[in-house]
Protein backbone atom coordinates (compact mmCIF):
# COMPACT_ATOMS: atom_id res chain seq x y z
CA UNK A 1 0.00 0.00 0.00
CA UNK A 2 1.16 3.55 -0.62
CA UNK A 3 2.60 5.23 2.46
CA UNK A 4 1.67 8.87 2.07
CA UNK A 5 4.21 10.07 4.62
CA UNK A 6 7.24 8.73 2.81
CA UNK A 7 8.16 12.18 1.61
CA UNK A 8 11.34 12.98 -0.26
CA UNK A 9 13.98 12.85 2.44
CA UNK A 10 16.27 10.45 0.62
CA UNK A 11 15.68 12.00 -2.78
CA UNK A 12 16.44 15.46 -1.39
CA UNK A 13 19.63 14.26 0.24
CA UNK A 14 20.96 12.35 -2.74
CA UNK A 15 19.90 14.61 -5.61
CA UNK A 16 23.05 15.78 -7.35
CA UNK A 17 23.69 19.47 -6.91
CA UNK A 18 27.35 20.23 -7.46
CA UNK A 19 29.83 18.14 -5.48
CA UNK A 20 29.24 14.42 -5.11
CA UNK A 21 29.19 12.85 -1.64
CA UNK A 22 32.11 10.71 -0.52
CA UNK A 23 31.74 7.17 -1.96
CA UNK A 24 32.24 5.70 1.51
CA UNK A 25 29.73 7.97 3.23
CA UNK A 26 26.18 7.09 4.32
CA UNK A 27 24.14 10.30 4.12
CA UNK A 28 20.55 10.22 5.53
CA UNK A 29 20.62 6.46 5.86
CA UNK A 30 21.54 3.89 8.44
CA UNK A 31 25.27 4.16 9.08
CA UNK A 32 25.77 0.54 10.02
CA UNK A 33 25.28 -2.67 8.10
CA UNK A 34 22.94 -4.60 10.46
CA UNK A 35 20.47 -1.72 10.62
CA UNK A 36 20.61 -1.21 6.85
CA UNK A 37 19.89 -4.88 6.23
CA UNK A 38 16.93 -4.85 8.62
CA UNK A 39 15.57 -1.75 6.94
CA UNK A 40 16.01 -3.33 3.51
CA UNK A 41 13.75 -6.14 4.69
CA UNK A 42 11.03 -3.61 5.61
CA UNK A 43 11.65 -1.80 2.35
CA UNK A 44 10.98 -5.02 0.48
CA UNK A 45 7.45 -5.17 1.82
CA UNK A 46 6.70 -1.54 1.09
CA UNK A 47 8.22 -1.75 -2.37
CA UNK A 48 6.29 -4.93 -3.16
CA UNK A 49 3.05 -3.36 -2.05
CA UNK A 50 3.57 -0.22 -4.11
CA UNK A 51 4.68 -2.22 -7.12
CA UNK A 52 1.61 -4.43 -6.94
CA UNK A 53 -0.65 -1.38 -6.85
CA UNK A 54 1.16 0.16 -9.84
CA UNK A 55 0.83 -3.13 -11.72
CA UNK A 56 -2.87 -3.37 -10.87
CA UNK A 57 -3.35 0.22 -11.99
CA UNK A 58 -1.80 -0.78 -15.33
CA UNK A 59 -4.13 -3.77 -15.67
CA UNK A 60 -7.00 -1.38 -14.99
CA UNK A 61 -6.00 0.85 -17.89
CA UNK A 62 -3.47 3.16 -16.23
CA UNK A 63 -0.40 4.05 -18.26
CA UNK A 64 2.10 5.01 -15.58
CA UNK A 65 5.43 3.28 -15.10
CA UNK A 66 8.83 3.86 -13.51
CA UNK A 67 12.23 3.63 -15.13
CA UNK A 68 15.31 3.20 -12.97
CA UNK A 69 18.48 4.10 -14.87
CA UNK A 70 21.65 2.72 -13.27
CA UNK A 71 25.00 4.19 -14.25
CA UNK A 72 28.43 3.89 -12.66
CA UNK A 73 31.99 2.78 -13.24
CA UNK A 74 32.71 -0.94 -13.60
CA UNK A 75 32.12 -2.87 -10.35
CA UNK A 76 30.03 -0.01 -8.94
CA UNK A 77 27.25 -2.51 -8.27
CA UNK A 78 24.66 -2.13 -11.00
CA UNK A 79 24.09 -5.87 -11.19
CA UNK A 80 24.10 -6.24 -7.41
CA UNK A 81 21.47 -3.51 -7.13
CA UNK A 82 19.23 -5.33 -9.58
CA UNK A 83 19.62 -8.57 -7.67
CA UNK A 84 19.17 -7.18 -4.16
CA UNK A 85 16.67 -4.37 -4.73
CA UNK A 86 14.58 -5.39 -7.73
CA UNK A 87 14.79 -8.94 -6.44
CA UNK A 88 12.49 -7.78 -3.63
CA UNK A 89 9.47 -7.40 -5.91
CA UNK A 90 7.36 -9.63 -8.16
CA UNK A 91 9.22 -10.45 -11.42
CA UNK A 92 5.95 -9.92 -13.32
CA UNK A 93 6.30 -6.21 -12.66
CA UNK A 94 9.98 -5.79 -13.50
CA UNK A 95 11.48 -5.31 -16.93
CA UNK A 96 15.27 -5.53 -16.95
CA UNK A 97 17.50 -4.42 -19.82
CA UNK A 98 21.28 -4.34 -19.87
CA UNK A 99 23.07 -2.29 -22.51
CA UNK A 100 26.51 -3.37 -23.61
CA UNK A 101 28.59 -1.86 -26.39
CA UNK A 102 26.19 -1.52 -29.35
CA UNK A 103 26.27 -4.32 -31.90
CA UNK A 104 26.95 -3.70 -35.57
CA UNK A 105 23.21 -3.89 -36.25
CA UNK A 106 22.43 -1.41 -33.46
CA UNK A 107 25.04 1.04 -34.71
CA UNK A 108 23.14 1.31 -37.96
CA UNK A 109 20.33 3.04 -36.09
CA UNK A 110 20.10 6.19 -33.97
CA UNK A 111 21.52 5.45 -30.51
CA UNK A 112 18.07 5.83 -28.93
CA UNK A 113 16.60 3.13 -31.19
CA UNK A 114 17.65 0.18 -29.03
CA UNK A 115 16.79 2.12 -25.86
CA UNK A 116 13.19 2.76 -26.93
CA UNK A 117 12.64 -0.94 -27.55
CA UNK A 118 13.30 -1.67 -23.88
CA UNK A 119 11.01 0.87 -22.26
CA UNK A 120 8.75 -0.52 -19.53
CA UNK A 121 5.08 -1.05 -20.27
CA UNK A 122 2.24 0.36 -18.18
CA UNK A 123 2.44 -0.64 -14.54
CA UNK A 124 6.01 -1.89 -14.80
CA UNK A 125 9.27 -0.91 -13.17
CA UNK A 126 11.89 -0.85 -15.89
CA UNK A 127 15.56 -1.12 -15.01
CA UNK A 128 18.34 -0.01 -17.31
CA UNK A 129 21.74 -1.46 -16.43
CA UNK A 130 23.71 1.18 -18.35
CA UNK A 131 21.69 3.25 -20.77
CA UNK A 132 21.67 5.99 -23.40
CA UNK A 133 24.16 7.84 -21.19
CA UNK A 134 26.85 5.44 -22.37
CA UNK A 135 26.37 7.04 -25.78
CA UNK A 136 27.80 10.25 -24.42
CA UNK A 137 30.28 8.83 -21.92
CA UNK A 138 32.23 6.36 -23.97
CA UNK A 139 32.61 8.29 -27.24
CA UNK A 140 33.46 11.40 -25.27
CA UNK A 141 36.22 9.78 -23.24
CA UNK A 142 37.62 7.98 -26.23
CA UNK A 143 37.63 11.21 -28.21
CA UNK A 144 35.07 10.16 -30.81
CA UNK A 145 32.46 12.79 -30.05
CA UNK A 146 32.77 16.37 -31.25
CA UNK A 147 31.61 19.11 -28.92
CA UNK A 148 28.78 19.90 -31.33
CA UNK A 149 27.64 16.29 -31.42
CA UNK A 150 27.80 16.14 -27.63
CA UNK A 151 25.58 19.20 -27.34
CA UNK A 152 23.13 17.65 -29.76
CA UNK A 153 22.97 14.46 -27.72
CA UNK A 154 22.26 16.37 -24.53
CA UNK A 155 19.38 18.09 -26.27
CA UNK A 156 18.08 14.81 -27.69
CA UNK A 157 18.31 13.01 -24.36
CA UNK A 158 16.51 15.76 -22.49
CA UNK A 159 13.77 15.73 -25.13
CA UNK A 160 13.55 11.94 -24.94
CA UNK A 161 13.20 11.99 -21.17
CA UNK A 162 10.57 14.71 -21.35
CA UNK A 163 8.67 12.53 -23.80
CA UNK A 164 8.88 9.68 -21.28
CA UNK A 165 7.51 11.92 -18.55
CA UNK A 166 4.67 13.00 -20.84
CA UNK A 167 3.91 9.34 -21.51
CA UNK A 168 3.61 8.61 -17.80
CA UNK A 169 7.05 7.16 -17.11
CA UNK A 170 8.85 8.52 -14.06
CA UNK A 171 12.57 8.33 -14.68
CA UNK A 172 14.91 7.84 -11.71
CA UNK A 173 18.56 8.24 -12.68
CA UNK A 174 21.07 6.85 -10.24
CA UNK A 175 24.84 7.19 -10.34
CA UNK A 176 26.44 4.48 -8.22
CA UNK A 177 29.46 6.30 -6.89
CA UNK A 178 32.46 4.19 -5.92
CA UNK A 179 36.03 5.16 -5.14
CA UNK A 180 38.97 3.99 -7.26
CA UNK A 181 40.32 2.18 -4.18
CA UNK A 182 37.11 0.17 -3.84
CA UNK A 183 37.11 -0.59 -7.56
CA UNK A 184 40.65 -1.95 -7.26
CA UNK A 185 39.50 -4.37 -4.53
CA UNK A 186 36.49 -5.50 -6.54
CA UNK A 187 38.42 -6.02 -9.77
CA UNK A 188 40.98 -8.04 -7.84
CA UNK A 189 38.21 -10.14 -6.30
CA UNK A 190 36.85 -10.85 -9.79
CA UNK A 191 40.26 -12.02 -10.92
CA UNK A 192 41.12 -14.24 -7.96
CA UNK A 193 37.67 -15.91 -7.76
CA UNK A 194 37.08 -18.34 -10.68
CA UNK A 195 33.27 -18.08 -10.41
CA UNK A 196 33.62 -14.31 -10.87
CA UNK A 197 35.84 -14.42 -13.95
CA UNK A 198 32.83 -14.00 -16.22
CA UNK A 199 32.21 -10.59 -14.69
CA UNK A 200 35.69 -9.39 -15.59
CA UNK A 201 36.56 -7.77 -18.87
CA UNK A 202 40.08 -6.69 -19.81
CA UNK A 203 38.54 -3.49 -21.14
CA UNK A 204 37.69 -2.57 -17.56
CA UNK A 205 41.35 -1.67 -17.00
CA UNK A 206 41.28 0.66 -19.97
CA UNK A 207 38.31 2.50 -18.47
CA UNK A 208 39.98 2.49 -15.05
CA UNK A 209 43.05 4.15 -16.51
CA UNK A 210 40.79 6.96 -17.72
CA UNK A 211 39.07 7.45 -14.36
CA UNK A 212 39.45 11.25 -14.18
CA UNK A 213 38.13 11.64 -17.73
CA UNK A 214 35.07 9.54 -16.88
CA UNK A 215 34.44 11.54 -13.70
CA UNK A 216 34.65 14.73 -15.76
CA UNK A 217 32.27 13.33 -18.38
CA UNK A 218 29.82 12.30 -15.65
CA UNK A 219 30.02 15.74 -14.00
CA UNK A 220 29.10 17.30 -17.33
CA UNK A 221 26.22 14.87 -17.83
CA UNK A 222 24.82 15.64 -14.38
CA UNK A 223 24.97 19.34 -15.16
CA UNK A 224 23.34 19.07 -18.56
CA UNK A 225 20.71 16.40 -17.97
CA UNK A 226 19.47 16.89 -14.41
CA UNK A 227 15.99 18.13 -15.16
CA UNK A 228 12.87 18.61 -13.09
CA UNK A 229 11.37 15.57 -14.82
CA UNK A 230 14.41 13.38 -14.47
CA UNK A 231 16.95 14.43 -11.86
CA UNK A 232 20.18 12.57 -11.17
CA UNK A 233 20.88 11.00 -7.79
CA UNK A 234 24.33 9.99 -6.51
CA UNK A 235 24.34 6.94 -4.29
CA UNK A 236 27.60 6.39 -2.38
CA UNK A 237 28.37 2.81 -3.30
CA UNK A 238 31.53 1.68 -1.53
CA UNK A 239 29.25 -0.02 1.01
CA UNK A 240 26.97 -2.45 -0.79
CA UNK A 241 24.49 -2.52 2.10
CA UNK A 242 24.14 1.25 1.97
CA UNK A 243 23.77 1.25 -1.80
CA UNK A 244 20.95 -1.30 -1.65
CA UNK A 245 19.15 0.57 1.10
CA UNK A 246 19.45 3.90 -0.74
CA UNK A 247 18.23 2.67 -4.13
CA UNK A 248 15.30 0.88 -2.47
CA UNK A 249 14.35 4.09 -0.67
CA UNK A 250 14.64 6.17 -3.84
CA UNK A 251 12.23 3.78 -5.55
CA UNK A 252 9.87 3.72 -2.58
CA UNK A 253 9.71 7.51 -2.36
CA UNK A 254 9.14 7.74 -6.10
CA UNK A 255 6.37 5.15 -6.11
CA UNK A 256 4.74 6.57 -2.99
CA UNK A 257 4.62 9.94 -4.73
CA UNK A 258 2.83 8.35 -7.68
CA UNK A 259 0.41 6.94 -5.12
CA UNK A 260 -0.75 4.09 -7.39
CA UNK A 261 -4.28 2.89 -6.74
CA UNK A 262 -5.97 -0.43 -7.18
CA UNK A 263 -8.44 0.26 -9.98
CA UNK A 264 -12.18 0.46 -9.45
CA UNK A 265 -13.78 -2.73 -10.71
CA UNK A 266 -15.26 -2.49 -14.18
CA UNK A 267 -18.09 -4.79 -13.11
CA UNK A 268 -20.83 -5.01 -10.50
CA UNK A 269 -19.29 -6.95 -7.62
CA UNK A 270 -22.58 -8.12 -6.10
CA UNK A 271 -23.96 -9.19 -9.45
CA UNK A 272 -20.82 -11.21 -10.14
CA UNK A 273 -20.99 -12.84 -6.72
CA UNK A 274 -24.58 -13.84 -7.40
CA UNK A 275 -23.66 -15.18 -10.85
CA UNK A 276 -20.71 -17.08 -9.42
CA UNK A 277 -23.03 -19.14 -7.24
CA UNK A 278 -25.06 -20.07 -10.28
CA UNK A 279 -22.18 -21.29 -12.40
CA UNK A 280 -21.94 -24.92 -11.48
CA UNK A 281 -19.36 -27.21 -12.97
CA UNK A 282 -20.54 -30.55 -14.19
CA UNK A 283 -17.62 -32.80 -14.67
Interface residue list for a second copy (CB under 8 A): 56, 59-60, 79, 82-83, 86-87, 89-92, 94, 96, 98, 127, 129, 180, 184, 187-188, 191-192, 194-195, 197-200, 202, 205, 208-209, 211-212, 215, 262-265, 267, 269, 272-273, 275-276, 279, 281-283
**Closest to a second copy by CB, 29 or 58:** 58
**Closest to a second copy by CB, 159 or 205:** 205
**Closest to a second copy by CB, 83 or 155:** 83
* Smallest separation (angstroms) from a second copy to the CB of 146: 26
Strands (E), the chain: 65-72, 94-98, 125-129, 169-177, 232-236
* Smallest separation (angstroms) from a second copy to the CB of 271: 9
**Closest to a second copy by CB, 157 or 255:** 255
Rounded CA separation 34/244 (Å): 13
* Smallest separation (angstroms) from a second copy to the CB of 133: 19
* Smallest separation (angstroms) from a second copy to the CB of 228: 29
Q: Is the dihedral of CA 29, 30, 33, 37 positive or negative?
A: negative
**Closest to a second copy by CB, 231 or 263:** 263
Of the chain, the end-to-end C-alpha distance in Å amounts to 40
**Closest to a second copy by CB, 41 or 91:** 91
> How many CB atoms are located within 10 Å of the residue 241 CB?
19
21, 260, 277 from 9: Cα distances, Å: 16, 20, 50
> How many CB atoms are located within 10 Å of the residue 50 CB?
25
* Smallest separation (angstroms) from a second copy to the CB of 155: 30
| CA 164-168-169 angle, 5° bins | 55
| CA 19-69-103 angle, 5° bins | 115
**Closest to a second copy by CB, 40 or 157:** 40
Nearest to 175 by CA among 64, 51, 73: 73
The string of DSSP codes covering 157-216 is HHHHHHHHHHTTEEEEEEEEE--HHHHHHHHHHHHH-GGGGGG--THHHHHHHTHHHHHH
* Smallest separation (angstroms) from a second copy to the CB of 61: 10
**Closest to a second copy by CB, 70 or 171:** 70
Q: Helix axis angle, 147-166 relative to 134-141, nearest 10°? A: 170
* Smallest separation (angstroms) from a second copy to the CB of 90: 4
* Smallest separation (angstroms) from a second copy to the CB of 272: 6
* Total count of residues recorded for the chain: 283
Amino acid sequence: MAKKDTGSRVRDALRIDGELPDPGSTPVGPGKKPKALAKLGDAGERLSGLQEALYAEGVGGGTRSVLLVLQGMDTSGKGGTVSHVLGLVNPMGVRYAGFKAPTAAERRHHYLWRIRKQLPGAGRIGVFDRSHYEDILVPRVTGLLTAAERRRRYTEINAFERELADAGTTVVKVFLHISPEEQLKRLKARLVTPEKHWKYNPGDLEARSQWPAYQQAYADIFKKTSTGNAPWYAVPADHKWYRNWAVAELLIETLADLDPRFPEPGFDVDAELAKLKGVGVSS
